[in-house]
Amino acid sequence: MLIELIENRRSVREYKQTEVPKELVEEVVDAARLAPSGCNAQPIIYYIVDGGKTREMRKREVFYQDFVYAAPTLIVCCGNPKAYKIPEGYARQRREGSVPEDVEERMGEFFSGEQKVRERVIRDVSIASTYLVLRATELGLGTCYVGWFEEHSLKDILKLPRDYVIPFVITVGYPKKIPEQTPRKRLDEIII
């Protein structure tokens, strides 16, 4: 049941040194592929890292937390801002009648501007990655979002395009131990 997956998901920082089979990695990425994205732009690209590449990253001090280098698999979550240049989903939404009449005037604001596009990429990568993490939990894998890294160094090592946005990396592996749930705010603290 979905609520059980949500309740059982943890940020795992200690992994068994057991390789995650390629088929399972593909299965969690496939779940992310099914997520919605703005105008169906589907800007997400996942770069899978295991083995030797992490040694090169350690030498370059890409990540600031040692547990990242010990994870069997890293999924580098990238977004391609150019995916929004030709919004095919916009054409579909226009046919459905779900966009305003003055859409041509508004499109310039919505589809231009580096900061706005960056925000859209981060939003869409985040939505899709949630699907990925929940599927990993369902398959008995542990994950942890990692946002503390040198983005330019990571792009250099992986030979990723400079304009890609990398909001975070997700560690993946079989948990050595399942951490306790960290405290969460009460519902009445987050609903206004």
Residue range 19-74, pLDDT digits in tens: 999 999 999 999 999 999 988 889 999 999 987 677 778 888 899 999 999 999 99
CATH code assigned to 2-177: 3.40.109.10
Domain residue spans of the chain? 2-177
pLDDT digits (tens, 9 = 90+) for 108-127: 555 567 788 899 999 999 99
DSSP symbol at 146: E
Cα 138 to chain centroid, rounded:
17
